[in-house]
Amino acid sequence: MRCKTIAPSVLFPSVLLAPLLLACSLLLASACGGDDPEPAWESIDIGPIQSLSGVWGSGSDDVFIVGGDDDQGEIHHFDGSAWSKMALPSDVGLLVWSYGFGSNDVWTVGRLGALLHYDGTAWSKVDSKTDQDLWGVWGASANDVYMVGGNVFSGQVTILHWDGTEIQEEAFPDTANPLDVRALFKVFGVGGRLFAVGQKGLIVEREANGWVRHSAGQEADEDFVALWRSSADNIIAVGGRANSKISTFDGTTWTTSEPSQNFGGLNAVYVDAQGLVRIGGVNGAVGVWDSVARDVVYDPSNTILAVHAMWTDPDGKTYAVGGTFFDPHQGVVMTLGAK
């Protein structure tokens, strides 16, 4: 069985949240255990870490977790047996997101235009031609990679494209940006369609003549931070600041709603090979999206740090990574499922 839990309010001080969460987790374990208890999230030690923001892998024995602090980014790698901290070029700030096409072709983006590429041997800097923060990266192929970003306070929407030879910036028309947003946070595609999400509930699609806006309804009034898909007619975006927001795409229309247990922003979403949609957010929130009820069934968590990204490996192990994202930088890595 799976039990719903109510996440504590973001108004609780951290010193009170920790024992509260621990007590709730113990109570839920007792109340919901039964003969077939749900697997539990557990924190794992991957060595010294700062804030963590992204996780991606090409397989169970090739996992990359990215993060860092204001001065230097960091990337941790799992080879199937052990974790190691990877060597990076100097003067690379906090890293946010990764995506790749195999163990020898991985992209990572970060603050102040940070852009790195891994060839299976070493990470190297790539000139992004921008000093805007980069928040997301995704590609249809090794020669068709998009990066999105923008400074949320004083910047402009930034969209970069790698064609296998060079980085070029794409125009973002005013018609796609009626809300005057300054940043897109994630980009993802499926079935020949490419979407990006950003501030103020903005959802846009790359069409033949450029980027166009999709309406996501009146409830889409806060930032969308992440999106994932299982098919062209099953895409999900999550976000929110004061309130959790979840928007789903059925191939034609985006529909946005708030979970019944609404405690603050959601940052992470991942759809696994079986179509299970996992989400993560503030105060260590982790759970599963129920598409029929249009609601989230929350799991007990053993952290109060915000969950920023999730990813499931081919063996069924799900990773959730997160942290403070500000000084003092703290990070967390949790796993669920296959050992």
Give the number of domains in the chain: 1
pTM: 0.88
Pairing between β-strand 115-118 and β-strand 123-125 as defined by DSSP bridges: antiparallel
CATH code (residue 265): 2.130.10.10
**Which 3 state secondary structure label does DSSP give 66?**
strand
- Residue 199 DSSP code: G
- pLDDT tens for 110-133 read 999 999 999 999 999 999 999 999
**CA distance linking residue 224 with residue 247, whole number of Å:** 9
Long-range contacts: 102-107, Cβ < 8 Å, 24+?
Answer: 102/58, 103/58, 103/59, 103/62, 105/142, 106/56, 106/58, 106/64, 107/137, 107/139, 107/145, 107/147, 107/162
**CA distance linking residue 115 with residue 166, whole number of Å:** 13
- pLDDT tens for 43-90 read 999 999 999 999 999 999 999 999 999 999 999 999 999 999 999 998
Mean pLDDT of the chain: 89
Is residue 10 situated within a structural domain? Answer: no
**CA distance linking residue 58 with residue 5, whole number of Å:** 33
Is residue 66 situated within a structural domain? Answer: yes
Domain that holds residue 163: 51-336
Is residue 207 situated within a structural domain? Answer: yes
Is residue 189 situated within a structural domain? Answer: yes
